[in-house]
Amino acid sequence: MVIDRRSFALGALAVMTGSCARAGSPRSRSGRSSSPAAKALWAQFKARFLDPSGRIVDTGNNNVSHSEGQGYGLWLAQMADDKTAFTSMFEWTEKTLARPDLALYAWRYDPRQTDKVADRNNATDGDIFIAWALARAGEQWKEPLFTSRSEEIRAAILTHLVTERFGRRLLLPGLDGFSTPNKVTVNPSYLVWPAFDKFLSLDGRGVWGPLVTDSEKLLLDARFGPNRLPTDWVDVTADAALAPAAGKPPRFGFDAVRVPLYAMAGGRRTLADPVISFWRQYARLGKTIPAWIDVQSGQLAEYPLSAGGMAVVDRSLDRATTPAMPTDYYSAALQSLSKAL
């Protein structure tokens, strides 16, 4: 059975990891070494958010964990060449969040509940980051288990989360709850461009190219209001025009702040231009950037963008800053990714 095979493989990996740790080589077996900056960044993030069990703790949300956070942690650990921490996170993720039916992951773990993984639905951005980190780790440390698991996840994403509707190939945010006969709701911040580029190199343009091409066009179309900003959630229908998702605040906010980060990291600055222009207006006037803006009414949040969000702004505006790592998980993740991607 799949679970037995995975348990055996994880046990074998633990033995191999212990041997490698005792060897103490600072350089990966692929011959690449991580930078001191990547190591320092990961050391701070790990000290603050990595539980000894191997889960990344969302300190701003009742200490739950997410597949997203596991993906971020795996990616940062791989960048820092920390195989011990990487393996710990991978094992926890497989044992706790991996679905038995598909090579995808339940999106949320809540330590306060009797059933700690009550909702088995996935979060596609978490799956993407995990697959990306595993692919890179498999190459860096020559571990077939990481490589094969990434392949399984990528295949599951393509089979179960990529749909062709209304003349577009769309990335579903999760297996359940985002598609009806009349519309598909998507999250623009789930388009992790550098991950897709890695998948393109591994699987071929014929496999990922159609989704990438249509998703680039989607982001060009998903621009709303006078500032032409993407919203956190977008409805795609048979109409040519896209719309902010019904039933959700029409905001450029908590989720969409990642859109310019991934666009910049993936060499697609054009997809980030409206957001960069919006932020630059505030920078020129020396004004505080709000945490969100309602693209329809123009209403602004009464509180500022988080430190992590400001790290994305700094990256987008080519400003060099070295703030302390935030104590909030999501803010710290944004800051870390802004520096590392």
Active site residues: 68, 125
Residue 244 pairs in a beta bridge with 234
Q: Which residue's entry shows tokens 């595993």?
A: 134
- Cβ(260)–Cβ(251) below 8 Å: no
Q: Three-state DSSP class for 112? A: coil
Decide: helix, strand or coil at residue 17.
helix
The Cβ-side half-sphere exposure at 28, using a 13 Å CA radius, reads 22
- List residues bridging with 162 in a β-sheet: 171
Q: Which residues contact 322 (CB under 8 A, 6 or more apart)?
A: none
**Number of alpha carbons in the 13 Å side-chain half-sphere of residue 55:** 20
Q: Which H helix or E strand runs over 132? A: helix 124-141
Residue whose tokens read 């032409």: 228
**Locate tokens 């996170």: which residue?**
89
Contact 229, 277 (CB under 8 A): no
Alpha helices in the chain (DSSP H): 2-23, 36-49, 67-79, 83-96, 124-141, 144-160, 193-203, 205-221, 258-265, 273-285, 307-316, 329-340
Beta carbons of 175 and 124 less than 8 angstroms apart: no
Neighbour tally for 142: CB within 10 Å: 13
Check if the beta carbon of residue 75 is closer than 8 Å to that of residue 131: no
Contact call for residues 193 and 208 (beta carbons, < 8 A): no
- CB atoms under 10 Å from CB of 307, counted, come to 18
Query: 292: burial class by Cβ within 10 Å (0-12, 13-18, 19+)?
Result: buried
Distance, CA of 198 to CA of 160 (rounded, Å): 20
